[in-house]
Amino acid sequence: MIDSHCHIGFDELKDNVADIVERASKAGIEKILTVGCGEEHLSDLYHVLDKFDNVYGAFGIHPTEAQEVISAQKLSQLIQSHPKIIAVGETGLDYYYNETPQEIQLKNFMTHIEVASELNLPLIVHTRDAEKDTIECLRAGNRNDKLKGVLHCFTGSQKLANAAQELGFYLSASGIITFKKNLNNEKYQTDLQDTFASYPTELLLVETDSPYLAPVPMRGKTNEPAYLPYTLAKLAELKVKTVDEMDAITTQNFYNLFFKGQNQ
Ligand SMILES: [Zn+2]
């Protein structure tokens, strides 16, 4: 099992990071991809990358944290500042909170796309209430069909999933797919689970997005990579596979996207 997206360098987790990585290993997590979301997170990111062999990193300017435009040159330099940074992101668009002007978000997103293409690294995309612009940016940035990446913590519509599939993008399932249906979310949860059920199996990943979004039955707790098996089990159920089959598939998918197929 591989946690394809979490933030173990964030304040909620970093003080106990050795225990968290050990609990993950005991739960069968062989690798962890942890994401740094802005320059102020870099030293914490380096710290966990240097400390643990099985932890890899991604770096980008999160759309809700960006206060100004970053240049491609600067971004490229930051991404290449550590040999275990293997992906660009998370980046993308978030019109839900709308704390950052959309114009800045759009510029930064296109810069991340450009740098990912240039460095031939996968792109990790966050999108919330911004599906139309997200699709347009990804299509515009995929000029030579070279762009590859993942819509992380996927919570979008079937339409967004169709666009992702056309681009050959992966969808990553978070704890949200385990959330119980109730009167308020019945249709949303059903649609989301249907989208995962019908998405190509070879383009699926699993993640915790910890410290956020702990899966059922851990809801309300601080999430951590050791809770990944609950999300994997739900995805297996949706895809009508055994947990072991789904584990092998999503692990191989991770290597295909982030390690060019090599199981290292
Ligand atoms: Zn995240």
Tell me, in angstroms, the distance from the centre of ligand 1 to residue 4's CA: 10
CA 56 / ligand 1 centre spacing (Å): 14
Q: Note if the pTM is more than 0.75.
A: yes
Question: How far is the centre of ligand 1, averaged over its atoms, from the C-alpha of 250 (Å)?
Answer: 18
CA–centroid distance, residue 85 to ligand 1 (Å): 15
Q: What is the Å distance from ligand 1's center to 90 Cα? A: 7
Distance from residue 260's CA to the centre of ligand 1 (Å) = 22
Residues 6+ apart with CB under 8 A from 222: 12, 13, 210, 211, 214
Q: In angstroms, what is the span from residue 144 Cα to ligand 1's centroid? A: 27
What pLDDT digit, counting tens, does each position of 154-201 carry?
999 999 999 999 999 999 999 999 999 999 999 999 999 999 999 999
Longest alpha-carbon distance in the chain: 49
Measured between alpha carbons, how far is residue 172 from residues 23, 152, 192, 208, 216 in Å? Answer: 22, 5, 12, 10, 17
pLDDT the model gives residue 264: 61
What separation in Å is there between the alpha carbon of 14 and the centre of ligand 1?
15
Centroid of ligand 1 to alpha carbon of 185 (angstroms): 22
Q: If you measure from the C-alpha of residue 213 to the centroid of ligand 1, how many angstroms do you get, rounded to a whole number? A: 10
Determine the distance separating the centroid of ligand 1 and the alpha carbon of 34, expressed in angstroms: 9
Distance, in Å, from the CA atom of 243 to the CA atom of 251, rounded to the nearest integer, reads: 12
| Phi-psi label, residue 120: left if phi above 0, alpha if psi -120 to 50, beta otherwise | left
**Distance between Cα 210 and ligand 1 center (Å):** 8
For residues 15-34, one letter each, b for 16 or more C-beta atoms within 10 angstroms of the residue's C-beta and e for the rest, the string is: eebeebbeebeeeebebbbb
The series of mean pLDDT values per 10 residues for the chain, 264 residues long, is: 96 94 98 95 96 98 90 98 97 91 96 97 97 97 90 97 98 97 94 98 98 96 98 98 98 96 70
2-258 topology per CATH: TIM Barrel (3.20.20)
Instruction: Give the residue extent of every domain in the chain.
Output: 2-258
User: Residue 32 Cα, ligand 1 centroid: separation in angstroms?
Assistant: 13
